[in-house]
């Protein structure tokens, strides 16, 4: 006699189906990541029309200085920014001091100064040329200040950021489990200030530096089993791009120094090594440096024109306080501290240890790069990064933090369930995006955040932010 079939619990069925769907997403995450990317594009596109922009233009703040390289070179045929700054002065009716600063600074050659890098203009140039040509054909404004010229390059910045996210994922899933790679990418993307600079302020250089850094790390990973000479040259080009976008990010090329040193040591280990054994690594090193210098040429040309020298520090020597680093403040201060504003990065930092165990060369290089970047960011006069959502100058290190976070997650996978990890990830994402909402409302005159935020402002007040946003929305409707 057969036993009666037991009824299946609907809740168990639902849980099984959800787990199967989650596993399918983790196995092939590109469609899911692409949806998030499209949300970024749609949200920023909507904000162009729904949220008033400062001075009535899309590119504002530091983005102006990155953009004028492109506008002036493409439309005026020079790097004389006086006319560009004059036009921005006319737009700006709310910040008189900013209006004065743009024109009062002069370079040794007598031109309007620009303390910022040329790399973003280089990366934006292809889409700018296409959009400008389309505007000409359609009879739209083509002065470089219209939406037709500016909006496409901002969407391009978001696309560059997404490319950086995907390249980072490719490296993470090549080194660690797919689950760890999936969670680490979501954490770095949505639970740090990357979400702000990709979705709210793409005219800054930061998501472009994320892309350049991710490309550099990806090229390391792709060539980890061996590089041909042309691969060293291409890798050098990517290192030059790092420096072109943000000069201090040339420190990330320390990873290549570690790899090159390991190659030299292998050539030495034979015991009877001859000079000929060292020729290949020496040639590879020269090719790498040649690529780096070649990619950095646009910046040297700009500096030569503006400052009369191909290599310089535009801010002047007084901008750096080499013997007074503020590293603890850079890491932990409530004034845009790296870990105080993005606490998920503490787990990534802990993950540098298992990352070292997984790959000693990568792990050691990651720790050195982190310390070097921390030192450089701590010796500038505005170590907090000015008006910023978190420690914006560390965004170029996010691929390394992603690998550290993935290493941390793999190290605890036998002790912590996937569901717990996902719940904690969700908490970090909610925490970060409430903070983003709070900060963005403050930028639009709703609520308050101190120059040095208090503990209450960084914790309790962020939970009030959604209600303030709703209050403002209802006030507009009524």
Higher pLDDT, 90 or 186: 186
Q: What pLDDT score was predicted for residue 1?
A: 43
The stretch 431-439 carries a mean pLDDT of: 95
Q: Which of 29-38, 259-268, 296-305 has the lowest mean pLDDT?
A: 259-268
Band (471; pLDDT cuts 50, 70, 90)? confident
Q: What pLDDT was estimated at residue 474? A: 75
pTM score, whole prediction: 0.94
Which has more pLDDT, 117 or 88? 117
pLDDT tens column, 137-154:
999 989 998 889 999 999
Give residue 102's pLDDT band: very low, low, confident or very high (50, 70, 90).
confident
Query: Residue 95's pLDDT is what?
Result: 62
Q: Is residue 93 predicted with pLDDT exceeding 80?
A: no
Residue 211 in any domain: the answer is yes
For residue 394, the model assigns a pLDDT of 98
Residue 162 has, within 13 A of its CA and on its CB side, a CA count of: 19
Split at pLDDT 50, 70, 90, the class of 7 is low
Mean pLDDT confidence for 320-325: 92
Residue 95 vs residue 34, higher pLDDT = 34
Amino acid 52: pLDDT: 66
Is 90 exceeded by the pLDDT of residue 343?
A: yes
Q: Provide the pLDDT for residue 54.
A: 64
Output the 3-class SS for the chain: CCCCCCCCCHHHHHHHHHHHHHHHHHHCCHHHHHHHHHHHHHHHHHHHHHCCCHHHCCCCCCHHHHHHHHHHHHHHCCCCCHHHHHHHHHHCCCCHHHHHHHHHCECCCCCECCCCCCHHHHHHHHHHHHHHHHHHHHCCCCCCCCHHHHHHHHHHHHHHHHHHHHHHHHHHHHHCCHHHHHHHHHHHHHCCCHHHHHHCCCCCCHHHHHHHHHHHHHHHHHCCCCCCHHHHHHHHHHHHHHHHHCHHHHHHHHHHHHHHHHHHHHHHCCCCCCHHHHHHHHHHHHHHHHHHHHHHHHHHHHHHHHHCCCCCCCCCHHHECCCCCCHHHHHHCCCCCHHHHCCHHHHHHHCHHHHHHHCHHHHHHHHHHHHHHHHHHHCECCCCCCCCCCCHHHHHHHHHHHHHHHHHHHHHCCCCCHHHHHHHHHHHHHHHHHHHHHHHHHHCCCCCCCCCCCHHHHCCHHHCHHHHHHHHHHHHHC
Q: Has residue 120 got a pLDDT over 90?
A: yes
18 assigned to some structural domain:
no
pLDDT score recorded for residue 278: 79
Check whether 116 has a pLDDT greater than 70: yes
Residue 59 maps to a domain: yes
What pLDDT is stored for residue 96 in this prediction? 57
% of the chain at pLDDT higher than 70? 93
How many angstroms separate the CA atoms of 478 and 462, rounded?
25
Comparing 2-6, 85-89, 183-187, the range with the smallest average pLDDT is: 2-6
> With 80 as the cut, is the pLDDT of residue 2 above it?
no
Residues 188-203, mean pLDDT to the nearest whole number: 96
Q: Is residue 29 part of a domain?
A: no
How many domains in the chain? Answer: 1
Q: Which of 223-232, 292-301, 450-459, 465-474 has the lowest mean pLDDT?
A: 465-474
CB atoms within 10 A of CB 209: 32
Question: What is the per-residue pLDDT for 472?
Answer: 75
In a domain, 441, yes or no: no
- For residue 28, being part of any structural domain is answered with no
94 pLDDT band (50/70/90 cuts)?
A: low
pLDDT on residue 98: 59
Is 202 within the bounds of a domain? yes
pLDDT, position 6: 52
The stretch 336-349 carries a mean pLDDT of 98
Domain of residue 378, residue span: 50-311+322-413
Q: What is the mean pLDDT of the segment spanning 67-80? A: 96
The answer to whether position 246 is within a domain reads yes
Higher pLDDT, 9 or 464: 464
pLDDT at 58 (0 to 100): 87
- Check residue 298 and give its pLDDT: 98
Q: Name the average pLDDT for the chain.
A: 91
- Contact call for residues 251 and 232 (beta carbons, < 8 A): no
- pLDDT above 90 covers a percentage of the chain that reads 75
Asked which of 246-260, 306-320, 326-340 is least confident by mean pLDDT, the reply is 306-320
Does residue 67 contact residue 150 with C-beta atoms inside 8 Å? yes
For residues 250-259, average pLDDT = 98
Q: How many residues does the chain have?
A: 478
């Amino acid at each position: 006699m057969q036993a009666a079939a037991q009824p299946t619990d609907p809740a168990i069925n639902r849980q099984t189906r959800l787990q199967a769907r989650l596993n399918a997403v983790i196995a092939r995450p590109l469609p899911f990541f692409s949806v998030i990317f499209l949300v970024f594009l749609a949200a920023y596109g909507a904000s162009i029309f729904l949220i008033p922009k400062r001075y009535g233009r899309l590119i504002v703040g530091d983005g102006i200085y990155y953009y004028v390289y492109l506008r002036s070179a493409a439309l005026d045929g020079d790097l004389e920014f006086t006319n560009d700054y004059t036009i921005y002065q006319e737009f700006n009716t709310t910040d008189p001091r900013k209006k004065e600063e743009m024109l009062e600074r002069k370079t040794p050659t007598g031109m309007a100064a620009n303390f910022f890098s040329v790399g973003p203009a280089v990366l934006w140039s292809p889409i700018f040329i296409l959009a400008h040509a389309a505007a000409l054909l359609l009879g739209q404004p083509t002065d470089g200040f219209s939406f037709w010229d500016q909006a496409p390059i901002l969407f391009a910045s978001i696309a560059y950021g997404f490319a950086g996210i995907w390249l980072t994922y490719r490296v993470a899933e090549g080194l660690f489990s797919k689950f760890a790679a999936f969670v680490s990418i979501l954490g770095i993307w949505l639970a740090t200030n990357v979400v702000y600079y990709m979705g709210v302020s793409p005219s800054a250089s930061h998501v472009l530096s994320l892309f350049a850094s991710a490309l550099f790390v990806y090229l390391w990973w792709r060539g980890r089993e061996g590089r041909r000479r042309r691969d060293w040259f291409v890798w050098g080009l990517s290192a030059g791009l790092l420096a072109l976008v943000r000069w201090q990010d040339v420190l990330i090329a320390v990873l290549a120094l570690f790899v090159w040193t390991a190659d030299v040591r292998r050539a030495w280990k034979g015991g009877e090594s001859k000079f000929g054994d060292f020729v290949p690594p020496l040639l590879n090193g020269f090719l790498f440096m040649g690529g780096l210098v070649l990619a950095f040429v646009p910046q040297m040309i700009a500096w030569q024109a503006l400052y009369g020298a191909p290599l310089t520090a535009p801010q002047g020597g007084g901008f750096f306080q080499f013997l007074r680093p503020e590293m603890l403040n850079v890491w932990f201060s409530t004034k845009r501290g790296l870990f105080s504003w993005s606490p998920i990065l503490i787990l990534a930092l802990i993950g540098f240890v298992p990352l070292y165990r997984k790959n000693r060369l990568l792990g050691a290089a990651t720790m050195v790069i982190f310390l070097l970047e921390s030192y450089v960011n701590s010796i500038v006069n505005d170590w907090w990064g000015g008006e910023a959502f978190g420690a914006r100058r560390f965004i170029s290190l996010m691929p390394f933090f992603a690998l550290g976070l993935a290493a941390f997650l793999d190290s605890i996978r036998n002790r912590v369930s996937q569901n717990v990890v996902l719940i904690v990830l969700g908490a970090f994402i909610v925490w970060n995006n409430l903070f983003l909402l709070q900060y963005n409302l403050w930028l639009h005159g709703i609520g308050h955040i101190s120059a040095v935020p208090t503990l209450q402002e960084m914790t309790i007040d962020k939970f009030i932010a959604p209600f303030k946003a709703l209050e403002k929305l209802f006030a507009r409707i009524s």
